[in-house]
Structure 1
Amino acid sequence: MSALTEAEKGSLGVVVNSFAEMESAYAEYYYKVDNMRTWFVGPVALADYGEKASRGTSADAKAMANKKRCLRWLEKQRDRSVVYSCFGSWCHFSAAQLRELALGLEAAGHPFLWVVRDDGEEWMPEGFEERLGEKGLVVRGWAPQVAVLGHDAVGGFLTHCGWNSVLEGVSSGLPMATWPLSTEQFINEKLVVEVLGTAVRAWEGFRSTEEGEKEVVKAGDVAAAVEKVMGGGEEAEKRRVIARELGEKAKAAVMVGGSSYQGLSRLIGEIRDWPQKINGCDAASG
């Protein structure tokens, strides 16, 4: 038996950064299969205490400048007109893929805010940023993702499906285009695309976590994915409605009396009472 299994057998259960309205069926199945209880306490990103736009900046002058630049640019855009594109701090795209992504975002024709790693500019199509003007913003390094996703100007999210990003997108009531790159991101994609119905896959080609096997997703596929999220039509509108409704449920979950509020209260109670239960069991067995 592994050390992980042993640790789980001796634990009260699992604390989950999610909310019951999104994943209760999986919690019930988890209990039936592994006899493990769960406490939903999220989305924790909604506990902002007025500091939502400042997270991650600390004393970093560049991060602070990026925050101001992002929010200033968003203020100039129409409500729900912007697609936000970010693939996390760990992802790595080839120069060829970055070029295709740049051209795809441009071709889609919607304003976009794109966060890229600060890896130089040899990949950038010639004259790319000059052509964009105020129609697009490329941010290198860190960006205030929670604040960006919660801004009225943002209408869609192109994401790698890291769990934090998925929860932040869901909490903001946004439809998503999914582009998983590694580990559990492919499972997270299935949740939002196939179960919740709030997202579409960025493309349907061969997917792999191995660098040498990854396809270069073409600009046309990127543009088509953005259009599915940001464009018109019955399917796109249905997706937006579901996303908005789920976002409202996420916010309600962390309010007083909400499902996650209650989950956290139960967890605190369990921890508080646990020593007494253990001692009571020991006394009874003695």
Structure 2
Amino acid sequence: MEVLAAGLERSGTRFVWVVKEAATAEHLEEGYGSVPDGFENRVSGRGIVVRGWVPQVSILGHRSVGGFLSHFRWNSMLEGVASGVALLGWPMEADHFVNAWLFVDAMGVAVKVCDGEDSLPDPDELGRVIHGSMVGNSIQKERAKAMREEAIKAVSDGGSSYKELDDLVHALKQLVHK
């Protein structure tokens, strides 16, 4: 939490940081969900900390949002790509590492800021990566915007996903009538 707070502070960018509250006594003891003292005052006017749940898709779809830092959870990354924002990831466990490979290496739409729950990025470097990804048009942001446009075309009337779903419904109807 301290490193992420320092990176956000040093980035100089505007942000919304969603912090989940500690769910267990063990999490509470480990400082889970604890924002460093004084952080909110230092970033007042350009950053906001929200504790608890937020409507992530609505936030990502807002025109003022430039990027999204996540653990490379599948749904979150798809929501980020569908929103066309810069994607920053910090894989922690399980499928996060495969998702990181897919979004960073294979598709080139994300930047990995660190790797693993036991590793921490340098706060200055994290601030530079956040700033570089959010301000202007990074390669990853441009690719994410292009993928967003392709996704919109695919689900639009006559698009490939639209057509495939229509074909599936037609095939299922044929099974029912047999």
**1:156 lines up with 2:67 in the alignment:** yes
Q: Which residue of 1 aligns with 2:17?
A: 114
148-157 or 243-252, which deviates more: 243-252
Query: How far apart are residue 124 of structure 1 and its match?
Result: 2.5
**CA separation in 2, counterparts of 1:237 and 1:163?**
22
Query: Residue 216 of structure 1 is aligned with which of 113, 120, 126?
Result: 120
Query: Residue 262 of structure 1 is aligned with which of 145, 159, 163?
Result: 163
Q: Which residue of 1 aligns with 2:107?
A: 196
**CA separation in 1, counterparts of 2:82 and 2:16?**
19
Match for 2:6: what amino acid?
L
Q: What is the percentage of aligned positions where both structures have the same residue?
A: 38
Once superposed, which parts of structure 1, at least 4 consecutive aligned residues long, lie more than 6 Å away?
A: none
Look at both structures and tell me which one has the larger radius of gyration over its CA atoms.
Answer: 1
Q: Secondary structure of 1:264's match?
A: helix
**CA separation in 2, counterparts of 1:183 and 1:262?**
34
Query: How far apart are residue 133 of structure 1 and its match?
Result: 1.3
**TM-score, normalised to structure 2's length?**
0.85
Match for 1:243: what amino acid?
A
**CA separation in 2, counterparts of 1:125 and 1:237?**
30
**CA separation in 2, counterparts of 1:242 and 1:124?**
33
Q: Please, which runs of 5 or more residues in structure 2 have no aligned partner?
A: 23-27
**CA separation in 2, counterparts of 1:238 and 1:222?**
18
**1:186 lines up with 2:97 in the alignment:** yes
**CA separation in 2, counterparts of 1:158 and 1:137?**
15
Match for 2:73: what amino acid?
G
Q: Which residue of 2 aligns with 1:48?
A: none
**TM-score, normalised to structure 1's length?**
0.55
Query: Residue 131 of structure 2 is aligned with which of 221, 227, 240?
Result: 227
Write the deviation string for residues 42-62 of structure 1: whole angstroms up to 9, x where unpaired: xxxxxxxxxxxxxxxxxxxxx
Match for 2:14: what amino acid?
P
Aligned counterparts, 1:33-182, within 5 A: 98-119=1-22, 123-182=34-93
Query: How far apart are residue 159 of structure 1 and its match?
Result: 1.2
